Amino acid sequence: MNIQGNQNHTAMKNIICIFSILIASVTAVTAQQATLQLEPTGQEGDSVEYELIVMDPGYETFLLTQKPMEFYSQAYYETWNRRYVTEWNYRHMHPMVYGELYETYIDYRPGTDYGLELNYKLFYYFRFFEKENGVDLLPEKVF
């Protein structure tokens, strides 16, 4: 296998492949193939809690080495996640420029309350992805 084939194969292991959201009012599901999955964990009345499932090896260990979840506010994580998702989806739409790393469109909805924990985990998934793949999704960021 050539070098680019090896890089593509390695990158394929580390991309987000499954991303699904169950909408509260109906059981409509948006599913994409990924190693990252967003799922509702239960319903009480009109509210839904979501869980982020990441299947990339090393992510959980990486997450343990990061700042505690409460270090930043949910609004902080949501702001960064909107920026990350926007850039991710832009790269997804331009595979000839950015390659196969961004195979799946991420349906992260800014008006949806995913909660502090999910936003924290998603934020650090993007950071993990950048580290593992040697890319900067948001090169101008300062943390």
Which range (22-26, 47-51, 70-74, 90-94) has the least confidence? Answer: 22-26
Tens digit of each residue's pLDDT (9 = 90 or more) over 101-112: 888 888 888 889
d(CA 5, CA 96): 15
Tens digit of each residue's pLDDT (9 = 90 or more) over 56-108: 889 999 999 999 999 999 999 999 999 999 999 999 999 999 998 888 888 88
d(CA 129, CA 75): 21
User: How many Cβ atoms from other residues are within 10 Å of residue 88's Cβ?
Assistant: 23
Q: Which residues contact 18 (CB under 8 A, 6 or more apart)?
A: 31, 32, 33, 34, 35, 36, 37, 104
- 81 burial via Cβ count (<10 Å: 0-12, 13-18, 19+): buried
Cβ pair 14, 35 in contact under 8 A: yes
Whole-number pLDDT of residue 49: 78
Q: Give yes or no for residue 25 having a pLDDT over 90.
A: no
Say what the pTM is: 0.69
Whole-number pLDDT of residue 139: 84
pLDDT winner (highest mean) among 18-27, 36-45, 75-84? 75-84
Kindly give the pairing relationship between strand 47-54 and strand 29-30.
Answer: unpaired
Domain borders along the chain are 3-133
Whole-number pLDDT of residue 35: 56
